[in-house]
Chains A and B, each alone.
Chain A
């Protein structure tokens, strides 16, 4: 299903970005993709900011696929406690497995990354991907998106190495919406000097976009609430 042009994963992949840009859904799908290639993979929820929509919402899917989920014991509970488990060190210590990190939103969310950044940088086999959705009002322009990116890098202690264009309007997204976002993604790429590593799209839109948006990453969305 994935576009052949999608580059192989690095040992550690970090997804960062403005909150609500889709980091968690992409991180979950990316971990499942690595697993589907036959590799062992850990996915870590470093989000200590978002109270409602978490990597843990996908626990059943991840577990069924054999992806190890490392998440706060308090995620999805009533405890509003920004703590990370010691297990989180598996991300940097278990170097035989791939690791996917879901970083919390904005610079506030990226602050927790600072604890693990030295080890990730020392190992040097990572990529940090900045997830951006042009339909998010605070990252609608290239300067605004760049400003958010720089704040995240400063807070997390790691510079981004690529961009994930995740432009979407949720269920209402059309292939045209994605195509219309390409100039924005290219301009952001030019201004930041970072390549557009992939364009993430809802799985059902992938056939219409294959071949016209560069490396394509189809994702299956987690539906926490079953009603409309």
Chain B
């Protein structure tokens, strides 16, 4: 077994990507994500990989498109404003059905915003990460160990479904240090007959392209792509449930907000309140069935977010608005405290009695 080490979340992403076989990283520095690039700059040259600091975020994402076209594992990372710049490339990746890993260590917005942690790119990641009809697989780690695990999983899901996987973490996840054990995953071979690997004169050319001159063809590819998305939704939605079995109140939170919420839930349990946590691990596909299942016994839901309230829409939709959902949120780089979440739980409990 590999030795335990002490790592920043950003470093864990970088090392996990290397262990997952990624040898092509293209980036551009931005707080609070910069350690991903810094770590890659140190490690990649030592293992025959490519670290390239691009001249801009746009250049970096287009380099990812290039390497992904050859079937190699490629990644880029940035923070919120930089991800906005990459959105054109994310749409092209989807249009070309290319697997890739993109990391967003979010900071406060909109605009240049700030450098402190945020979850306010939820809509962008799950709905609007570029023009056109498409989705990315969006993974939300809540510990440094999970930063590593979901990075590895992200590469696998990307290869399996020919999609972009995004790690959506907030700034604290990137900056905090925790002990982790990093081990190379069992290698899985994904056949990539579409990849641009050279024909050797033995097969027709592969073409990686997102331009369709005939609308019927473009419609057909969109329908086929959404068939694949349905499979992803059926097979890959993931969530952690914590003390939800008997819960009258369910808190829904991901990433750092989930860790804050767990503290509040333990404090509420001590007061005899039956409350639990659903922590979505995949934000797309959203774990709808888990939420809907909890709504069969829970009477109130609370969405805890580092944003003005974005995931709350998915919580409501997952159960067809069957239960009231309240929002506990901080924004602009602030983090809700366990006491703020506990107060909302107690308010919800009061509502149950009324």
Contact = CB atoms under 8 A, between A and B. Distances in A.
Nearest to B114: A78
A144 to B, nearest CB: 9
B178 A170 contact: yes
B172 A170 contact: no
A225 B175 CA distance: 12
A118 B194 CA distance: 60
Contacts of A172: 4, 179
A138 B46 CA distance: 12
Tell me what chain A mostly uses at the interface: helix, strand, loop, or mixed. loop
Contacts of B49: none
Nearest to B35: A19
Interface string B12-41: 000100000000000000011001001100
B87 interface: no
Interface residues of A, number: 25
B31 A80 contact: yes
Interface stretch (A31-39, A129-137, A190-198): A129-137
Contact of B260 (A79, A106, A133, A227): A227
Report the contact-size class of chain B (Cβ under 8 Å from the partner): 20 to 34
Contacts of A78: 108, 113-116, 333
Contact of B259 (A53, A80, A138, A228): A228
Given A52-B172, A78-B114, A135-B4, A169 B32 contact: no
A135 B6 contact: yes
Contact of B5 (A53, A80, A106, A136): A136
Contacts of A140: 5
By DSSP majority rule, is chain B's interface helix, strand, loop, or mixed? mixed
Contacts of B56: none
A51 interface: yes
A11 to B, nearest CB: 32
B32 A52 contact: yes
A226 interface: yes
Interface in A93-144: 106, 108, 133, 135-138, 140
B11 interface: yes
A138 to B, nearest CB: 6
Interface string A159-188: 000000000111010000000000000000
Which A-B residue pairs are the 3 nearest by beta carbons?
A: A78-B114, A52-B175, A169-B179
Interface of B: 4-8, 11, 15, 31-32, 35, 38-39, 42-43, 108, 113-116, 171-172, 175-179, 259-260, 262-263, 333, 335, 337-338
5 contacts: A51-B175, A52-B32, A79-B115, A135-B4, A228-B263
